[in-house]
Structure 1
Amino acid sequence: MNKLKKIIASALIFTSIFSSAVFAADNNTNEPDLIGTSAIAVDLDTDEIIYAKNIDNKMFPASITKLMTALLLAENKEPNDLLTYPKEALQEAPFSYGLNVHPVTPGDTFTASNAMNILLLYSGNDVAYMIAKEVGGSVENFVKMMNEKAKELNMVNTHFVTPNGLDDNIDNHLTSSYDLSLLLKAVMANEWTSSTMTKKEAEVKSTNGPAAKIENRNKLVGENGNIGGKTGYTEKSGRCLATVYERDGRKIAVVVLNSEYNLPQDTKVFEDVEKLADFSYGAKKEPLLKKDTTLETKTLKYNLIPFIGPERAVRVPVEIKDDASFYKTSLKADVSYDIKDVSAWKLNKNKSIGTVTVKVKDKETKFELYPTISKMELVKNNIFIYLIILVVIFALIILIVKLIKSSKNKKNKRRRLYR
């Protein structure tokens, strides 16, 4: 008996350990281990969020700010327009074209095309200042334009203070990784800004200065499907990168904020982004709502005898025809139902009677809902009542026939009597 108990106990322990291992394996999502404290990956064609980590946290974006500056330049100037370099631009901190590449005299001009290259590839802080003053009339007005554009793009956690992202003595120049994914989508939709970000290098110059070669600070561009992006760093922001990949016809925006700046190698943020990109292209959707399962019920009223009564009620289960599948993230999915108040006598299993809406962040997806019963179910549920009614109707018909026949016989008898 004691041996039997030991065997059973050992079996239970083994089963428990095995079950725990399987459960752990089933729950292992293989998500990337990122240094960055905020990150997101979004399919730019479908707007589906594939990965989310603190995506609404307000963060310092550093030079990723220049994506907004570039977008406003593209929307307000032509590539051959000339921009005048103001003396105040010389006071902007490195990296600046006039301080670190070639001296610039206030009053010199740059084509908007050269300014765009310096802004997005070299990340020139002075050129960002020049663009702001030329496009906005003043830097202050340009910052207003930046914030108005942010509202237009639904960047609700964003507030810009500078056109270049410098944040010394500034605590409210903030955005979020989710908001930056919205900005990236807008930048990629603009031919001028998107084509500029794809360049590994460019030759630039002021109208009176010598030509200089600049390289893209995004080390990943052109590698593993990376088609462009913008780097950033300040002591407040940490190392940042907002970038876009294209593989197998799919474009995915990847944003990592507040990663490590490991000088002199400067590899950590790029490793974070590569990990997240690889994970995102391999991620699979999972069913949130499964097909052929009851998702909701709707109580419909109907007349037992159409147009006459009495009134009855029937509970109608509804389902979807295909799985509603989504990427598994930390974001909550809000599910809501809209079922029509249709006539129960019009129920058809192949005809939609409403929709279910799944909302993840700002993305809404609708699925058609179908009843699991048809009008024939109403007949089956009330078959005995209908049989009784049929019997009564049949009896009434027989009675009426007999009465008619009896009436005819009486008339015939009367006719014979009066002949």
Structure 2
Amino acid sequence: MIFGGPAAAYAKEPAPAPSPGQNDLAQSARSAILMDADSGTIIYEKNSHEKLPPASITKVMTMLLVMEALDEGRLKLSDKVLTSEYAASMGGSQIFLEPGEEMTVDEMLKGIALASGNDASVAMAEKIAGTESSFVDMMNKRAAELGLKNTHFANANGLPAENHYSSAYDIAVMSRELLKHPEITKYTGMYQDYLRKSSEKPFWLVNTNKLVRFYSGADGLKTGFTSEAKFCLTATALRDGLRVIAVVMGEPNTKTRNAEVSRMLDYSFAQYMNHTIFKKGDVMGTVKVEKGVVPELKLTAKHPYSVLLKKGTPVKDIRYELQLNSLKAPVTVNMPIGKMIVYQGDKPLTEFAVDAPQSVARAGWWKLFKRTCGSLFS
């Protein structure tokens, strides 16, 4: 089943041939990648699949599971989170939670996103999964679902641990997934705030990612540092409708880390543009569901669909095709049902997975009988 149509541009393709100076974008990083957030197109990479300690960038996956729990209604921002003795015992970056102290999910997210709170991360892990180890199982399961082949988590916060690693590419993919929850940048893009505002000792939060203050368009995502991992950062910025993700790992210091990430972002905004095929909420098409309680599903864009192109590229011959499977009830929400392929002329630029927007139960025999009779006499 194929549907097609013209589209304004949006591209996903292998990393382009290096332009002059591109090889110097992240000279000091052990590993790096620059990716278009909408399409996943890789603009630049350096040792991007090397397994390395991710330090607190681990919290990107922690925040992703929190945001998914919020979306699914298993959690509310106003829910109270109780701090266990174990969560309060975390060292390193923290918001100094006391055993038995309660904060809302909203406050815990601020503590994770701004202050990189190891204690807040474990408290949220326990809130969602009961124990940190059960939450880590969820993290690794989600990593597998995202196809992350060079990632394994041993904890929820990124403190040094055996068998805890990721790669620049995998971090970019999980960052891209997190950005599908646009409300996360309310937290990651904030430069400062307070916790315990009404107490005698308000706690001042200052974002560990200084780019959100000093780089135009930057609104996330997460820094990381341990003596083993060195200085790491997954950053995102949005300008003129183009959102990019830059990841560096193993940088020698914060100054170099921020300078190289800024250079990567500058390069992408100078060289590239994207054009939207579908905006979030646009109707993409319909697909029939055999023997379902509803006869067809309307496919609505869950997020923007775009292609990344070099600036100045003509877009008049950009087109897309929806290739959808034949569906038979029952259908489960988010199950893969096909793909959308974007072409420039006859050249494929990128493809996107298309998932079921809702579950569809199998219809009973009487409903199917009436539907058949209706079609015979219509």
Do they superpose with TM above 0.5?
yes
Higher relative contact order (CA 8 A, sep 6+): 2
- 1:36-115 aligned within 5 A: 36-76=29-69, 77-98=75-96, 104-115=97-108
- 1:90, distance to aligned residue in structure 2 (A): 2.9
C-alpha root-mean-square deviation of aligned residues, in Å? 2.7
- 1:71, distance to aligned residue in structure 2 (A): 1.6
Q: Which residue in 2 is equivalent to 1:300?
A: none
Tell me the distance in 1 between the aligned counterparts of 2:32 and 2:271: 16
- 1:260-271 aligned within 5 A: 260-261=252-253, 266-271=254-259
- 1:28, distance to aligned residue in structure 2 (A): 6.1
Tell me the distance in 1 between the aligned counterparts of 2:80 and 2:200: 14
Q: Which residue in 2 is equivalent to 1:236?
A: 228
Alignment equivalent of 1:215, drawn from 199, 206, 209: 206
Residue 272 of structure 1 pairs with residue 260 of structure 2 = yes
Q: Which residue in 2 is equivalent to 1:198?
A: 189
SS of the residue corresponding to residue 256 of structure 1 reads strand
Tell me the distance in 1 between the aligned counterparts of 2:19 and 2:189: 35
Q: Is the 8 A contact 1:59 1:176 kept in 2?
A: yes
- 1:251-400 aligned within 5 A: 251-261=243-253, 266-283=254-271, 357=348, 364=351
SS of the residue corresponding to residue 267 of structure 1 reads helix
Give CA deviations for 1:195-249 in whole Å, capped at 9, x if unaligned. Answer: 2111111121299774322011100004222121100001111100001011121
Give CA deviations for 1:57-94 in whole Å, capped at 9, x if unaligned. Answer: 11111001111111212222211001000111232112
User: 1:209–1:56: structure 2 CA closer, same or farther, 3 Å change rule?
Assistant: farther
User: 1:284–1:119: structure 2 CA closer, same or farther, 3 Å change rule?
Assistant: closer
SS of the residue corresponding to residue 221 of structure 1 reads helix
User: 1:127–1:86: structure 2 CA closer, same or farther, 3 Å change rule?
Assistant: same
Tell me the distance in 1 between the aligned counterparts of 2:37 and 2:78: 30
Tell me the distance in 2 between the aligned counterparts of 1:255 and 1:209: 39
Aligned partner letter, 2:54: P
Percent identity between matched residues is: 30
Tell me the distance in 2 between the aligned counterparts of 1:178 and 1:29: 23
Bigger fraction of residues in helix = 1
Q: Which residue in 2 is equivalent to 1:162?
A: 155
SS of the residue corresponding to residue 38 of structure 2 reads coil
Q: Which residue in 1 is equivalent to 2:179?
A: 188
Q: Is the 8 A contact 1:109 1:206 kept in 2?
A: no
Q: Is the 8 A contact 1:83 1:112 kept in 2?
A: yes
User: 1:28–1:111: structure 2 CA closer, same or farther, 3 Å change rule?
Assistant: closer
Tell me the distance in 2 between the aligned counterparts of 1:234 and 1:177: 16
Task: Report the structure number with the largest CA radius of gyration.
Answer: 1
SS of the residue corresponding to residue 230 of structure 1 reads strand
Tell me the distance in 2 between the aligned counterparts of 1:64 and 1:226: 17
Give CA deviations for 1:310-334 in whole Å, capped at 9, x if unaligned. Answer: xxxxxxxxxxxxxxx977xxxxxxx
User: 1:276–1:89: structure 2 CA closer, same or farther, 3 Å change rule?
Assistant: same
Tell me the distance in 2 between the aligned counterparts of 1:198 and 1:27: 30
SS of the residue corresponding to residue 122 of structure 1 reads coil
Q: Is the 8 A contact 2:197 2:203 kept in 1?
A: no
Q: Which residue in 2 is equivalent to 1:227?
A: 219
- 1:180, distance to aligned residue in structure 2 (A): 0.9
Aligned partner letter, 2:257: V
User: 1:82–1:105: structure 2 CA closer, same or farther, 3 Å change rule?
Assistant: same
Aligned partner letter, 2:86: E
Q: Which residue in 1 is equivalent to 2:166?
A: 175
SS of the residue corresponding to residue 229 of structure 1 reads strand
Q: Which residue in 1 is equivalent to 2:139?
A: 146
Q: Which residue in 2 is equivalent to 1:120?
A: 113
- 1:279, distance to aligned residue in structure 2 (A): 1.6
Give CA deviations for 1:143-167 in whole Å, capped at 9, x if unaligned. Answer: 0011111122222211111100001
User: 1:118–1:203: structure 2 CA closer, same or farther, 3 Å change rule?
Assistant: same
Aligned partner letter, 1:240: C
Structure 1, unmatched stretches of 5+, are 1-25, 99-103, 286-324, 328-351, 366-419
SS of the residue corresponding to residue 28 of structure 2 reads coil
Q: Which residue in 1 is equivalent to 2:374?
A: none
Q: Is the 8 A contact 2:60 2:174 kept in 1?
A: yes
Tell me the distance in 2 between the aligned counterparts of 1:189 and 1:136: 22
Q: Is the 8 A contact 2:195 2:204 kept in 1?
A: yes
Tell me the distance in 2 between the aligned counterparts of 1:232 and 1:89: 19
Q: Which residue in 1 is equivalent to 2:128?
A: 135
TM-score by length of structure 1 reads 0.58
Q: Is the 8 A contact 1:110 1:207 kept in 2?
A: no
Q: Is the 8 A contact 2:26 2:32 kept in 1?
A: no
SS of the residue corresponding to residue 83 of structure 1 reads strand
User: 1:208–1:110: structure 2 CA closer, same or farther, 3 Å change rule?
Assistant: farther
TM-score by length of structure 2 reads 0.64
Bigger fraction of residues in strand = 2
Q: Is the 8 A contact 1:201 1:215 kept in 2?
A: yes
